[in-house]
Chains A and B, each alone.
Chain A
Amino acid sequence: MSADPLNRLVQELAKLPGIGERTAARLAFHILRAPASYAQQLAAAITELKARLSECEVCCMLTEGQRCRVCREPRRDATLVMVVATPQDVLAIERTASYSGTYHVLHGLLSPLDGVGPDALRIRALLARCGGGAEASPRPREVILATSPSVEGDATALYLGRLLRPLGVRTTRIASGVPIGGEIEFADGVTLHRAIEDRRELT
C-alpha cells in the first residue's frame, strides 16, 4: 500500500474510463474536502456494487438475484430477444417503453484493435439460449440484433447472424439511417448511403 493516500486515490481514479490524471486529482480533492461520511458512503457503495451484483442467468444483464427484473416479469415475451452491447443499452431501450421482449447483453463488441474477440463476449450463452440448450428460458422465435450502427457494431451483428442462422432462429437487425426530425440536406454521406441501402417498401 502506498504511503501517500491522496496519490493512491488519484492513481485508482485515473484507471476509470475517460478519467485522466488531472480529473482524477480534482475528484480526489473533492472527496478529501467532503465530510468523512460521504467518503464512507462512496466506499460502501462501490464495495456493495461488487458484492451484490452479478449477471442474470438468462440474459447476462446485471442483477442482484439469479434473474434480472425483465427476465422475472411474466408479461414479457421471452421468445423475443434483443441483443445489445451493454447494460446501459438495456436501460436506454427500457426508457422508450416500446419493447416488450427480453434482452441478451454481450458486454462489449468485437474489437480487434482493443483485443476483444468472441470469447470475451457472452456469445456462448446466447447460442445456448437460442439452440434450446438453456433450461432457464424458452427457445426464442426471433433475435433482434441491436448493436450500434458502427463498424464494430455491424461486424458483431453480422458475426452473430452467421452463428444464429443455422439454429433456425429468425434474426433481424435494428434499422438505421436518417434520424427522426433530421434533415436529409444536413445528413452526412455515410448515413445517407446506409439509409438508401436499407430502404424498405411502403406497406
Chain B
Amino acid sequence: MTLPTAVTTAALVSRSVDYGEADRVLTLLTRDVGKVAALARGARRSRRRFGAALDLFVVGRAALRLGRDGRLATLERFDPTDDYGTSIARDVIKLAHGSYLLELARELWPADQREPELFALVVDGLATLASQRPSAGLLRAFELQVLRAVGLVPCLDRCVRCGAAAGNAALSFSVAEGGVVCSPCGPTGWSLSGAAQQALLALRDRPLMDAAGGAPAGVQRELRDLMLLVVQHHLGRRPRALDFLIELTEATAPGLPPAAAGATTPPVEREA
C-alpha cells in the first residue's frame, strides 16, 4: 500500500500506551490507511493538545504524518465526531463487550491494509453497543462479520470436505478446516446442532443493530463455545477482554458480588 506522507482520515483508538513523560503511543484503526501505530505528543498533559478525544471508543478525524520504513506515525490532530465511550463507560459489562469488539478487530486486522468495511463494522458495533444493552447476539454477529471482512468466515452452509449443501440435521464443525462437515464426511471436531448452524447463518448476515436475542439460552452457549474456539484459532491466543468479561459475569469471588458487574443486564444476555 503506497500512501501519502500526510493524511486525514476517520479513526478510532484501539490501544493506548503511555510513553515518556507525557506522550502516548496509540494503535489507531482508520478508514483510509488501515491500522496505524502513532505517537501522540503531549497527550497526557492536563492541557493536552487532543482534549478528551484520545480515549477508547471515540471516533474522530485524525490528521496523521505517516512514518516510513516501519517508523511510528505522528498524530497531529484528532477531532472527535462520535463519542461512544461516555455511554459504554457507564456499564462495566458494556466496557468489557466494547473492549472485546476492539480487541477482535485490532488483532484480526491484516497488516498494512486499508479495510474500510472492517472500520465501518467496528464503528457500527460500538454504536450498537452504546445504544443497546450488551448482548451475546451482538458479540456473535460481530465475530462472524469481522471474520467475513478479513476473509476468514467459517463455511456454514456447505460441507468443507465434499461441498454438499448442509441441511438442518446434526452436523459437526472443524475449526482447522474452517466450517461445517456433513454426516457422511464426519463426524469430526465439534458437534453442531441444526439450531446453532441456522442461528450462525442468520447472525452472519443480520445488521448488528438487530442481532440481540433470538436464540434460546442453550443454543447461545453452543454458539459462544464454538465461536470462542474459532476466534482463538485465528488469534493464536485467548482474547484478554473475554477473560475480563467472564471474570465479571461468572466469578463470584467473596466480597465482589456479581450484581456489581451490571445490575440491569439479564443473565443470559450477559453471557460472553
Contact = CB atoms under 8 A, between A and B. Distances in A.
Nearest to A153: B89
Contact of B55 (A113, A115, A151, A179): A151
Interface in B236-272: 240-241, 243-245, 247-248, 251, 253-257, 259-261, 263
What 6 A-B pairs come out closest when comparing CB atoms?
A188-B51, A112-B99, A112-B244, A154-B89, A112-B241, A190-B52
A163 interface: yes
Interface in B56-102: 56-58, 79-80, 83, 85-86, 88-92, 95-96, 99-100, 102
A152 interface: yes
A11 B46 CA distance: 32
Contacts of A43: none
B81 to A, nearest CB: 8
B15 A113 contact: yes
Contact of B95 (A149, A155, A179): A155
A162 B259 contact: yes
A110 B255 contact: no
B90 A158 contact: yes
A119 B243 CA distance: 12
Nearest to A176: B52
A128 interface: yes
Contact of B256 (A150, A163, A190): A163
Given A179-B46, A191-B51, A112 B96 contact: yes
B247 A118 contact: yes
B89 A115 contact: no
Interface in A112-140: 112-119, 123-124, 127-128
A189 interface: yes
B256 A191 contact: no
Given A112-B99, A128-B255, A151-B88, A117 B46 contact: no
12 contacts: A17-B17, A112-B103, A113-B240, A127-B255, A152-B56, A156-B92, A159-B260, A162-B259, A182-B47, A190-B52, A190-B85, A193-B83
Chain A: number of interface residues, binned into ranges: 35 or more
B53 interface: yes
A162 B100 CA distance: 23
Contact of A113 (B19, B56, B90): B56
A187 interface: yes
B184 interface: no
Contact of B20 (A18, A115, A163, A194): A18
Interface string B1-27: 000000000000011011110000000
Given A113-B241, A151-B57, A151-B88, A124 B18 contact: no
Nearest to B261: A159
Contacts of A149: 52
B86 A190 contact: yes
Interface string B124-162: 000000000000000000000000000000000000000
Nearest to B88: A151
Nearest to A110: B92
A119 B99 CA distance: 18
Given A110-B244, A119-B247, A158-B90, 7 more contacts: A112-B103, A112-B240, A112-B245, A117-B248, A118-B247, A127-B256, A190-B55
A165 to B, nearest CB: 9
Given A154-B90, A162-B260, A162-B263, A187 B240 contact: no
Contacts of B58: 190
A163 B257 contact: yes
Interface in A173-201: 179, 182, 187-191, 193-194
Nearest to A186: B51
B46 A189 contact: no
Contacts of B57: 151
A110 B254 CA distance: 18
